[in-house]
Structure 1
Amino acid sequence: MSKKKELLRRAYVVLAMLVLVAILLVGSTVRISVIERSTWTAKGDSTKLEFVDIEPDRGNIYSHDGRLLATSVPFFDLHMDLNSEPMTDRIFVAHVDSLSIYLSQYVFKNESAGNVRRRLVRSRKAGNRYFLIKKDATYNELTQVKNFPLIRLGKYKGGLIVERKSRRLKPFKSLASRTIGLDRENAQSVGLEDTFDAFLRGAVGKRLMQRVGNGVWIPVHDLSEIQPERGQDIVTNLDMRMQDICQTALQEALIRHDADFGLVVMMEVETGAIRAMVNLDGGTSGGQYRERYNHAVADATEPGSTFKLASMMALLEDGFVDITDSVDINHGRAKFGRRVMQDAHWRKETTVSLQRAFEISSNVGIAKVVDDYYGVGDNAGKFLKQLKRFGLHEKTGIEIRGEGAPEIKDTDHPKWNRHMTLPWMAHGYELEVTPLQTLAFYNAVANDGKKMKPFLVSTIKLGTKVIKEFNPQELRSKIASRSTIAKAKELLEGVVENGTGRNIKSSHYTFAGKSGTTKLEYWVKGQNKYQASFVGYFPAENPKYSCIVMVTNPKKDGYYGGTVAGPVFKEIADRCMGTDVSLMAFNNNPKTDILETLPYFEVGYAPDLLKVLREVDLEFVQKTTNDWVVTLPAEEEGGLVVKNRNIDPDLVPNVVGMGLRDAIFILENMGLKVKINGSGKVKDQSLAPGTKLKNQKILLYLG
């Protein structure tokens, strides 16, 4: 019995010991996981290392004359590791007072030096290794902070942690904004930023980081760090002077006609280099027009009467007609199949020459002759073959992604109607092309039949080293015979001399082109939306530039291409003919035109303005060597006088009379936030010149 009791006693002892051990284990688990959790987590964090990416500087985008269009501006988040090992208590105590004074004076301006010191001491005692000094500091602010007491002892003893980031900026703001594009992390990039991303983005670097608790990581400075490689630079064909001319002219027209949106593309005839591309949309806050979508490249729409040139050239190439042949326009009304076609206006004439029908943009005249020759037998195929020879069925291949695909129906298309399709195609309906594709076709006519690929980028560079060059590219060596091209030019010149473009004819130089008026959504009863366009080239006798203007849904003061888009084309051509030295020989009165365009340069950047005055051989007296000047009529000497426009770095400047580009450049570089009302050059400003600068907002009134 006693032996049995002894065994039970021993079992109870073992059980008690097991229970005690279990209690100790549970207690230790609770202590470690709950009571001492933060301590052990911090110790675990201090041993966790990880390599992270260092984003490189993105390459710049330049205009063809070296102006900066897009750049990455660096910003810095500044922190302090107040518990770095080399920062001993002796070092900290010796410098904390003077550091607090500097931080209070230059960073925490609304906080006393005493309060800053208390925060620094508290943070050091709490083991803070990521004390925030400033977020989004500029490079100048970073340089200033690096010279503060304690911090200037170096990155180890001073504890400064610099996290570099960048922000993409466009110095010319809205000019060519959509063409330049956007580089976006969480959405599809667009424009040149997207197409050339592989060149612009550079190579990512690597940095070893240590986690110090609460999700905070600090850099470990060692030899394993791999520095990022800066991206390559893109040099475009864009000319910002022309871009500004085109945007200003278009914006004024959009406002005047209360249009939904509009576009301008300007191209060099011989090379296909795009010198300006403007896309302005309405519907934005404040009633302003902004670049939001590249209509010029992406929108394939029915072109309307600008397509009549292709119809006439097809007829000429096939030898069916000559421009002196006659056509019965029946006062501008005819029936094809079940549909009635009308000209824009009733015509008193019944029979006119084909050239005259083209000049007055007779829908009936062009449709009748196309139907007469191509609407019999299998001849429709000949018409389509000629359109394809012109390259109108193909994309241009411009670098920007998203080019709209042209649509030209074949005879086996399910919607082909043998009575109605040809007549409507003849004057620009039942087919679709983009504005850029239309311009490329007209540019080929101006270029004596050679069709060039429109292109935006000329060079990719790394520093001064050229990585890649993009040369002019020929799409088709000859879209038509020499005879047809000569007659096409005669037709286009006739439009400006005697037809729908005669209201924009210049007495100083010649240009050629065709107006277009497209009715939109014509299948909707009661719909009265139109698209006005004008496409052509100048000077007519030796074309240097081709240009297309399109204005969609003008709601005031007309909707015809000749009265809405045509004046925009002429204003652009006037300014180019008056300021481009290479075109002076084709201008009968260049100095008059130049003087008429000088308000555009009246106040501005001296090197730009003086260069223009010298190149066009205008008499002027220069009375300043400053960067910013104003040109005024010289009362005694005649000609012009160039005087100083004083810019005091501590006072709000006078930007009245400046172009928007120059005004924004000056004001934003002085720390002012700029808002704009209207279009054109600066007529007035909300802050009086001479007001002390305090990082204010300024409203510019344009006109």
Structure 2
Amino acid sequence: MAKLRKDILWRMALLYILMVGFAVIILGKILYIQVVEGNKWKSKANELTQKDIIIEPMRGEIYSDKGKVLASSLPFYEIRFDSKAEGLDKNIYKSNVDALANCLANLFADKPANEYKAALYLGWQTGSRFQLIKRRVTYSQLKKMENFPMFKMGRNKSGFIVIQTNRRAKPFGILAERTIGYVTKERVVVGIEGAFDKYLRGKQGLELMQKLAGNVWMPVNNGNQVEPKDGYDVFTTIDINLQDVAQNALLKQLVKNNAHHGCVVLMEVETGNIKAIANLERYTNKTDDVIANPGHKSNEISYVENYNYAIGESNEPGSVFKLISMLVALDEGVIDINDTVNTGNGVTTYYGIKMKDAHRGGLGKITVKEVFSHSSNVGVSKIITNYFSDNPHRFVDRIYKLKLNEKLGLDIKGEGIPLVKDPSDSSWSGITLPWMSIGYEVKLTPLQILTVYNAVANNGRMVKPRLVKELKFHGEIIKEYPTDVIVSSICSNETLKKLKIMLESVVEEGTARNLKGAIYKIAGKTGTALIANTSHGYSDKNFKKTYQASFVGYFPSDNPKYSCIVVVSSPSNSIYYGNVVAGPIFKEIADKVYATSIDIHKPLNIAPALAGNIPVAKSGNKKDIENICKSIDIPIKTTSITSDWVSISQNQKSISLHNININPKQVPDVVGMGLRDALFLLENCGLQVKPIGKGMVKSQSIPAGTKTTNEQIIFIELG
């Protein structure tokens, strides 16, 4: 029995030792985890329950030249309630919840106060740390909420959480939409938004979030938040009023001519500032469009901004290139504008390929100026081939000096690549030079063409087109973008004068006579070009030809302030000439710009209006009268004038001034004065003035020189 007992005790002791050892091992492991690996496991726990989230900054805004918003990030807010906020207790909740519910109901007017109270109560009862109160709250609504009961105590005491989201908006819709551009989540960048994204987007902030039940994340208010930095504002050169004019003028002609697409650029001559840029493309509504926009019909045709043709489409420009050919020929001294060219019957042949003029039967023998104004293909090609066929490098190198074989280097992406062939290229042939001279076998974008014409208007100074003037941060200028000069002088002054004469002649007596106006002059060039098809040459598979109509020029031609190019592609109503399709768009824009821009009007000639009788003048302040007479060249006689106030006598040729002696204790003589001067003098003497009628003072109820008394009433009659 003793042996059995001893055996049992030994076994129990062994079991006890094993259990104690196991406990020591567990305890040791716990201590090892707590002390040695504690930070490691805490970090892993935090990774599962806490994380830093990025706080997006407020994206900078894009403005027009006059400070109107073209693109803006509209902030919207989501309001949540944390019933377990550290500073929130039962007394605060109960004493404020009714008033808060009433304020919310009055502000949003979407449901009664008892429903808002129920939502708050649900959050309180369930201990919710992220109870939804309201989505899509505007900034103005949020500012009002900040003064609501409980809410105004701050996040820690009230438990209210504000989460901001931003949505990009363009207040002017499709106006310059493609040029303003966009940036997608996938970092697809377009237009100004894309080009200046690094400035607009600002710097991201960080906020610590804690995971709650239901996979809900709530901000942790531990003071470690990194505030985001808002983006810079971009100030463009676009005038939104002129943009509206340009876009509507373009749309009207595109619809009228059933054209595929078109573009307009309006540029300030001296600075290169782009004041308007419109790109519209024909679009047929699909079923999905009708579902998204119930007011639209399926297969309905509209025009939208899907592509920036003005900047991106590099095409054969046609006849508008003839200015460049004439610039080279004139500046190289091989022709003068009064030289004659025999265009014959308007048909010539180069290596078996016929070239024709638009004018049937030809123009015969005409001057170089007339070759240009009537846009004679035969005339221009003969000039260039006669003088440059032996050395085509001379012609091409002169074009290269204008930088037309290079991109303009615009800030925004997508500029089309220019093509000006070199005689050493394998594609150069015997027909290249004559056809290049009239705008074929060469490719340029509309904006690249406009830059050349703008240089002519700008007295030979070629400037880079500019879309952005400056960057600002909270009103302070951060960076400015000055006008860049591409070529300081594109040609000699003598050549420049001749080019201007020829450009004016196009409108005065040439292919664009329909654009001639009586008030101001336009200078420019029409263009009608066949559009090449990659598979079928200059016609489609049905042998149908498509055209590009254009007009480019500047106004007023005697003192250019604006240059403009209009290009309309594939007009399909059997009318395709530049003067008829593109010209009216240019004219409508120019007329409206001229009508609203007083600074480009010629000064009025006032002298003839004053050649007869001098206008009737009023008595009054001597300095005012002298300044007015000086500004309109009316002679005045001021002999022995010592007073600041004068009466007037006049004849047909001059005005004489006479002293009016002012005594503050006597009623002054105000007959012959205007109401403003009469009131000033009479009220300074303490009189109450009662004027009757309008115009000049004819009589006064109290004679001049009468002693004044305070608050005395005087009646003055005007007529």
Same-fold status (TM-score > 0.5): yes
Structure-1 residue corresponding to 2:577: 560
Q: 2:481 aligns with which of 466, 470, 479?
A: 470
CA RMSD of aligned residues (A): 3.2
Structure-2 residue corresponding to 1:290: 304
Structure-1 residue corresponding to 2:57: 56
Distance 1:119 1:58 in 2: 33
Distance 2:513 2:109 in 1: 67
Given that residues 46 and 213 in structure 1 are in contact (C-alpha distance below 8 angstroms), is that contact kept between their aligned partners in structure 2? Answer: no
Distance 1:310 1:264 in 2: 21
Distance 2:75 2:197 in 1: 19
1:147, CA displacement in angstroms?
Answer: 4.4
Structure-1 residue corresponding to 2:197: 197
Structure-2 residue corresponding to 1:236: 236
Distance 1:587 1:268 in 2: 24
Distance 2:105 2:457 in 1: 67
Distance 2:145 2:47 in 1: 27
Given that residues 49 and 208 in structure 1 are in contact (C-alpha distance below 8 angstroms), is that contact kept between their aligned partners in structure 2? Answer: yes
1:180, CA displacement in angstroms?
Answer: 1.8
5 Å matches for 1:600-619? none
Change (3 A) 1:547 1:317: same
1:452, CA displacement in angstroms?
Answer: 0.9
Distance 1:221 1:116 in 2: 25
Given that residues 357 and 376 in structure 2 are in contact (C-alpha distance below 8 angstroms), is that contact kept between their aligned partners in structure 1? Answer: yes
Structure-2 residue corresponding to 1:170: 170
Structure-2 residue corresponding to 1:506: 517
Distance 2:252 2:271 in 1: 29
Aligned-partner SS, 2:466: coil
Which amino acid counterpart does residue 405 of structure 1 have in structure 2? I
Distance 1:563 1:155 in 2: 67
Structure-2 residue corresponding to 1:452: 463
Which amino acid counterpart does residue 326 of structure 1 have in structure 2? T
Structure-1 residue corresponding to 2:355: 341
Q: 2:420 aligns with which of 408, 413, 420?
A: 408
5 Å matches for 1:515-530? 515-521=526-532, 523=537, 524-525=540-541, 526-530=543-547
- 4+ aligned runs moved over 6 Å, structure 1: 43-47, 586-589
Which amino acid counterpart does residue 565 of structure 2 have in structure 1? I
Distance 1:174 1:231 in 2: 24
Distance 2:414 2:102 in 1: 56
Structure-2 residue corresponding to 1:83: 84
Instruction: State yes or no: 1:327 paired with 2:334.
Output: no
Select between 495-504 and 241-250 the one with higher mean Cα deviation: 241-250
Which amino acid counterpart does residue 534 of structure 1 have in structure 2? F
Structure-1 residue corresponding to 2:140: 140
Which amino acid counterpart does residue 600 of structure 2 have in structure 1? L
Structure-2 residue corresponding to 1:385: 397
Structure-1 residue corresponding to 2:281: 281
Aligned-partner SS, 1:412: coil
Change (3 A) 1:539 1:98: closer
| Post-superposition CA distance 1:129-152 (Å, at most 9, x none) | 111112221012223444444434
Structure-1 residue corresponding to 2:549: 532
| Post-superposition CA distance 1:650-688 (Å, at most 9, x none) | xxxxxxxxxxxxxxxxxxxxxxxxxxxxxxxxxxxxxxx
| Post-superposition CA distance 1:242-283 (Å, at most 9, x none) | 212211211111111111111111111112121111112220
Structure-1 residue corresponding to 2:73: 72
Select between 421-430 and 314-323 the one with higher mean Cα deviation: 314-323
Select between 194-203 and 482-491 the one with higher mean Cα deviation: 194-203
Runs of 5+ unmatched residues, structure 2: 27-43, 286-295, 607-719
Q: 1:541 aligns with which of 558, 569, 574?
A: 558
Distance 2:200 2:489 in 1: 36
| Post-superposition CA distance 1:301-335 (Å, at most 9, x none) | 11010001111111112222222222232322221
Distance 2:116 2:136 in 1: 20
TM-score, normalised on structure 2?
0.72
Given that residues 577 and 587 in structure 1 are in contact (C-alpha distance below 8 angstroms), is that contact kept between their aligned partners in structure 2? Answer: no
Distance 2:143 2:101 in 1: 17
Distance 1:348 1:424 in 2: 18
Structure-2 residue corresponding to 1:491: 502
Change (3 A) 1:567 1:138: same
Change (3 A) 1:162 1:546: same
Distance 1:469 1:253 in 2: 37
Given that residues 46 and 212 in structure 1 are in contact (C-alpha distance below 8 angstroms), is that contact kept between their aligned partners in structure 2? Answer: no
Distance 2:117 2:244 in 1: 53
Aligned-partner SS, 1:492: helix
Distance 1:47 1:519 in 2: 66
Instruction: State yes or no: 1:374 paired with 2:378.
Output: no
Given that residues 347 and 362 in structure 2 are in contact (C-alpha distance below 8 angstroms), is that contact kept between their aligned partners in structure 1? Answer: no
Select between 439-448 and 280-289 the one with higher mean Cα deviation: 280-289
Change (3 A) 1:47 1:309: closer
Instruction: State yes or no: 1:424 paired with 2:435.
Output: yes
1:290, CA displacement in angstroms?
Answer: 2.3
Aligned-partner SS, 1:322: coil
Aligned-partner SS, 2:246: helix
Change (3 A) 1:447 1:153: closer
Structure-1 residue corresponding to 2:290: none
1:460, CA displacement in angstroms?
Answer: 1.7
Instruction: State yes or no: 1:158 paired with 2:172.
Output: no
Structure-2 residue corresponding to 1:206: 206
Given that residues 524 and 551 in structure 2 are in contact (C-alpha distance below 8 angstroms), is that contact kept between their aligned partners in structure 1? Answer: yes
Structure-2 residue corresponding to 1:34: none
Aligned-partner SS, 1:568: helix
Given that residues 116 and 133 in structure 2 are in contact (C-alpha distance below 8 angstroms), is that contact kept between their aligned partners in structure 1? Answer: no
1:225, CA displacement in angstroms?
Answer: 2.0
Which amino acid counterpart does residue 290 of structure 1 have in structure 2? V
Distance 1:586 1:440 in 2: 29
Instruction: State yes or no: 1:440 paired with 2:440.
Output: no
5 Å matches for 1:629-640? none
Select between 175-184 and 511-520 the one with higher mean Cα deviation: 175-184
Aligned-partner SS, 1:275: strand
Structure-1 residue corresponding to 2:263: 263
Rg larger for: 2
Distance 1:559 1:446 in 2: 27
5 Å matches for 1:579-594? 579-585=596-602
Aligned-partner SS, 1:209: strand
Aligned-partner SS, 1:288: strand
Structure-2 residue corresponding to 1:315: 329
Distance 1:117 1:567 in 2: 64
Distance 2:576 2:596 in 1: 30
Change (3 A) 1:575 1:103: closer
Structure-2 residue corresponding to 1:40: none
Distance 1:355 1:104 in 2: 77
Distance 1:114 1:535 in 2: 67
Distance 1:101 1:465 in 2: 42
Q: How many positions carry a matched residue from both structures? A: 563
Aligned-partner SS, 1:331: coil
Structure-1 residue corresponding to 2:698: none
Change (3 A) 1:98 1:240: closer
Select between 239-248 and 218-227 the one with higher mean Cα deviation: 218-227
Matched-pair identity in %: 41
1:289, CA displacement in angstroms?
Answer: 2.1
Distance 2:423 2:227 in 1: 61
Select between 576-585 and 347-356 the one with higher mean Cα deviation: 347-356
Given that residues 262 and 567 in structure 2 are in contact (C-alpha distance below 8 angstroms), is that contact kept between their aligned partners in structure 1? Answer: yes
Aligned-partner SS, 1:156: helix
1:557, CA displacement in angstroms?
Answer: 6.0
| Post-superposition CA distance 1:51-82 (Å, at most 9, x none) | 32222212222222222222222111111112
